[in-house]
Amino acid sequence: MAILPIIETPDARLKQISAPVETVTDAHRTLIADMFETMYDAPGIGLAAIQVGVAERILVIDLQREADDTPEDADPDKIVRVKEPRVFINPEIIWESDELSVYQEGCLSVPEMYADVQRPAEIQVKWLDEQGKAHDEKLDGLLATCLQHEMDHLNGVLFIDHLSKLKRDMLLKKLEKLRRSGRAA
């Protein structure tokens, strides 16, 4: 496994539409393992293949949670996390609720920037896993939001594209200022 470089805005590759995976191969499974390692190292909860320079419809998500026996006053650096890795190949939303939810989103390709984004609260999704097995499931909460965020990457859309031009421009100026100061990659 390897930690891959994460592409950041304004790299034009992030605006590319990713191609469907025809057949899931060992090369895809290696990429998926590398994507998880990269995401955990960043750290993040989701990563699309295009963010590491591969324009294929593959994404990984792990919302992780604290172990059930973690004391409330635990040192943040020593909190045990339960990993729940999920792989989505060729994900497709086949239904979405009229009800919307708002989450403060961030992105590894737009480092240290966060904004509220409104998305459907529930979605029905079909996809393939890393073995090529088909799945169809209704998702809600943070998983639904994260999946929609990562699926946007597959279509060349960043979370900041859901913001007003004014808010997007403000975030991009703030990011550029952080980069100039050396505090952002």
| Letter string b/e over residues 72-108, b meaning 16 or more CB atoms within 10 A of that residue's CB | eeeeeeeeeeeeebbbbbbbebeebeeeebebebbbb
- Given 56, 105, 130, 150, which residue is catalytic? 150
List phi, psi (to 5°) of 29.
Answer: -65, -35
Clarify whether 150 is annotated catalytic.
yes
Strand pairing category for 100-107 and 134-140: unpaired
Distance CA 116, CA 11 (A): 23
Q: Which helix (H) or strand (E) holds 38?
A: helix 26-41
Asked if residues 89 and 150 have their Cβ atoms less than 8 Å apart, the reply is no
DSSP-assigned states of every residue in 11-31: -GGGGSPPBPPSS--HHHHHH
Asked if residues 59 and 154 have their Cβ atoms less than 8 Å apart, the reply is yes
List phi, psi (to 5°) of 3.
Answer: -90, 125
Query: Active-site residue numbers?
Result: 150
